[in-house]
Each structure stands twice: as C-alpha cells, then as structure tokens.
Amino acid sequence: MARKRSSGRLTRRSFIQRLTFFGGGVVLLGSTACKRPAEETPKAEKTAEAPSVGDSPHGTFTGLEFSTMAAASERIVPRDEDPGAKDANVPAYIDRILQTPEMKQMKTDFLQGLAALERRARSMFKKGFAEATPEQQDELLTIFKDSGEGSGEAHFYELLVVLTLEGFLGDPSYGGNKGRVGWHLVGFDTVGTVAMAPPEGYDGPKCLRECGDHR
C-alpha cells in the first residue's frame, strides 16, 4: 500500500523512524507516559485526520474497522483448544491503547494499514476481511507479513502482531489478557506469581499516564 503512496502520509523516513525501534530487544510503541500536554512534540510531517469514529462505541475504530481489527488479531492468536485473542479481549486493548495521545502516529499507521487490508480483502475475495474465511484471512495476512522490510504492509503486520501480543500477554488492567488466559498459555501465571506480577486492583494505564510525576 504505502510504497505506491509514498508521497502521501507514510513516507520512507517515517518508516525508518518506526522500524528501527521494532528491531531491538526493547520495543517502544509510544505512549502518553510522563508527558504534559505542553511538551507534546510537533509532528514531523502532516498526517491526515483519522477517520471519525462517529457514533461507534469504540474509541479508536469505527464499527467496521473494529470488526476487521478483531478478526485480524484473532488470526494472529486464534482460539483452538486454548483461548484466542478475542477471548482475551485483545480488540478492546488495541482500541484503548491506540487512544493514548503519544500513539497518534501509530494509530494513523494502523488505521491506514487496516484500510489497506480491508480493500485488499474486497478485491481478492469480494467481501470484507471479517467475512472472509479463516483460510482467506491467513492468505492475506501472509501476503502482508512477507511484503518485505520497509513496506507498509509489513509495517502494519508488525504493528498488528505486537499490539495483539501486548493485549494477550500484558497486565489485565490495560483491558486485554482477560482472565489471565495469555499468561496461562505461556506459563507466566506460575512465574508471575513468584515475580509478583501487579496485584489485583493495579491500574497500568493510570501508571502509564502519571509515571514520573510524583511531586
């Protein structure tokens, strides 16, 4: 998608800016953390306004976008004998985390990628991504995955995987990992007990907003 439209919203430079921090061991997606509004940095390049969510019950996505995103995240971590992304409330996590002001650029990229996924589904399968069969959905996600480093498709796929896994395996207070099903799947429920994973009542998003402001 973006290669053809590189004069538009997603320039080569912004790709590099974002791809480099996906490479390392520490992955940063941006956040509201520790920021006062006055410190918000001006955007390096103009980005189109995100589509209006309208009367959608979601904070980031329209109803259609939400179903596309939910269907895509479910293919990353599908339900089988163990719970999948939807069971863990991953879509709610992604909707919520992309509302944080410092993830604005990510949100723009994600919505753009999601729109490309939906367009591609309609041209390939003559139906929306959410209505396509799981095999068709996997076929399309594989195309995105294999599009090559620096492509908009691969960038979106990486965002999708990272956000899905954050929602599946992050602290439940962020809205995902419902019932700690993600932690159970990877065995972190036992390690996590020893590791003193945050207690009941812990509010990660609040910490993320207020960290460092202990005046």
**Given the rule CB under 8 A, which residues bind another protein?**
16-18, 20-21, 24-31, 33-34, 38-39, 41, 44, 75-78, 80, 82, 102, 105, 138, 141, 145-146, 148-149, 154, 157-158, 161-162, 165-166, 168-171, 174, 182-183, 185-188, 190-192, 194-198, 202, 204, 207-208, 211-214
CB nearer another protein, residue 53 or residue 204? 204
Helix (H) or strand (E) holding 188: helix 188-194
The rounded radius of gyration (Å) of the Cα atoms in the chain is: 18
The Cα–Cα gap between 156 and 121 comes to: 15
Question: Cα angle vertex 157, ends 151, 68, to 5°?
Answer: 125
CB closer to another protein out of 63 and 134: 134
Cα–Cα distance between 31 and 155 in angstroms, integer? Answer: 18
Smallest distance from another protein to CB 24, Å: 7
Query: How near is the Cβ of 17 to another protein at its closest, in Å?
Result: 5
Nearest CB to another protein, comparing residues 49 and 81: 81
User: Which of 45/51 has CB closer to another protein?
Assistant: 45
Tokens describing residue 27: 């992955």
Q: How far is the CB of 55 from another protein (least distance, A)?
A: 30
Q: Give the type of residue at 185.
A: L
- Give whole-number Cα distances, 35 to 32, 39, 54, in Å: 6, 6, 28
